[in-house]
Amino acid sequence: MMKIVTVVGARPQLVKAAVVSRIIASHDGMEEVLVHTGQHFSGNMSDVFFREMEIPEPKHHLGVHSLPHGAMTGRMLEGIEKVLTDEQPDFLLVYGDTNSTIAGALAARKMFIPVVHVEAGLRSHNMRMPEEINRILTDRISDILCCPTETAVRNLHAEGFERFPCVISRTGDVMQDAAMYYAEKAAGRSGIMKEIGDDPFILCTLHRQENTDDAARLKDILEGLRTVHEKKRVIMPLHPRTAKVTATLGVKVPVNTIDPVGYLDMIELIRHSDLVITDSGGLQKEAFFFGKHCITMRDETEWTELVEHGYNKLSGTTPDGIRGAVEEMSGRESDFNIDLYGQGRAGERIAALLEKASAKS
């Protein structure tokens, strides 16, 4: 029996894990042990995803959160190492680019446990982003690199990964698997649109550290959103980090804010929105999956193919940049029927890679 320890901690990782965990559970020769680091610890940011997406409860919960990067990563590393010592898995599986990701990969690598990185090869080329550091280091110490796009594969080859003892595979993006699987469930189970009402709206999320922890940058973003909200209402599920920072600064979020929402509610918000504005990585793709144009309040993106095909526009963080991007993208028409992310088969491909690697060991 192949044993896989999967480490999750943040909301996007729970969405991705829902896909792969379901595939693993369908294989008789695979056993998964789920570890939740606690990185996102509020009910709306974590627990609700387990309930809605029918993910098995974690066997291990480390409860590590609300700490600086070094302390958080260190405590996660310590906790995951103990779990791996107890469980003795065949593989360690991590998702994305959070502190949970790098902590899991480091713990396994030092114990000579093969590391599988789902969403490998992404690059923003902005080393001021903690996520960029996490993803680069995780890729370098991983044994199986599951790339969501051809661009991600090219990034790894450009960095010389073909010379390293690892497997590089374009599996597609598990986020598309999730979107396709849960869309119907969301339509039947989410009640968020009764709360939102029928008036047209733009969906907005704002949480990335480079935006929230720079007071001048944050105030520029909020001013840009204010001018957009004057013409069409903007609805923002307010991330705990953004709520905390704006309260500390004593500034008002000048749009309609709601509490953080679960994945099914978020799907419905995307589907009913006229446009998406975000600084998230995952939401850029989710907008595409549901046929919505997106504006990204950053200077770069890991999902360059969305920009190249005209589905996404980088606005930067200035008020004029945000306002201008909204004006440009509001009237745009695009054909969203294009295969960029694997057409919903990424989970199956990842499981096949695990079976192949296990057979060789």
pLDDT band at 40 (very low <50, low <70, confident <90, very high): low
Residue 23 has pLDDT above 80, yes or no: yes
What the block records as the tokens of 177 is 């698997």
Residue 46 has pLDDT above 60, yes or no: no
Summarize the confidence of residues 97-122 as an average pLDDT: 97
Neighbours of 47 (CB within 10 A): 16
Same domain, 299 and 253: yes
Give ∠ CA 323-326-329 in degrees, rounded to 5.
Answer: 150
Same domain, 231 and 252: yes
| Domain-embedded: residue 19 | yes
Distances (CA, A) of 50 to 24, 36, 38, 264, 282: 16, 11, 13, 12, 18
Summarize the confidence of residues 203-216 as an average pLDDT: 94
Residue 42 has pLDDT above 60, yes or no: no
CB 294 within 8 A of CB 283: yes
| Domain-embedded: residue 336 | no
| Domain-embedded: residue 337 | no
Same domain, 187 and 155: no
Same domain, 26 and 166: yes
Same domain, 155 and 198: no
Residue type (1 letter), 184: E
- Indicate the number of domains in the chain: 2
Those residues with Cβ within 8 angstroms of residue 132's Cβ, 6 or more apart along the chain or in another chain: 97, 123, 124, 125, 126
pLDDT at residue number 47: 65
pLDDT at residue number 184: 86
Residue 222 has pLDDT above 80, yes or no: yes
The pTM assigned to this predicted structure is 0.90
Report how far residue 13's alpha carbon sits from residue 17's, in angstroms, rounded to the nearest whole number: 6
229 is catalytic: no
pLDDT at residue number 134: 97
The CATH number given to whatever domain includes residue 216 is 3.40.50.2000
Same domain, 25 and 107: yes
What the block records as the tokens of 268 is 């419905």
Domain extent, residue 100, equals 2-172+345-360
Same domain, 168 and 186: no
Same domain, 271 and 323: yes
| Domain-embedded: residue 340 | no
Nearest to 25, CA basis, from 46, 63, 61, 53: 53
Summarize the confidence of residues 239-255 as an average pLDDT: 95
Q: Which of 40, 207, 229, 239 is catalytic?
A: 207
| Domain-embedded: residue 105 | yes
Neighbours of 176 (CB within 10 A): 24
Same domain, 167 and 185: no
Same domain, 146 and 52: yes
Same domain, 252 and 299: yes
| Domain-embedded: residue 76 | yes
Same domain, 210 and 324: yes
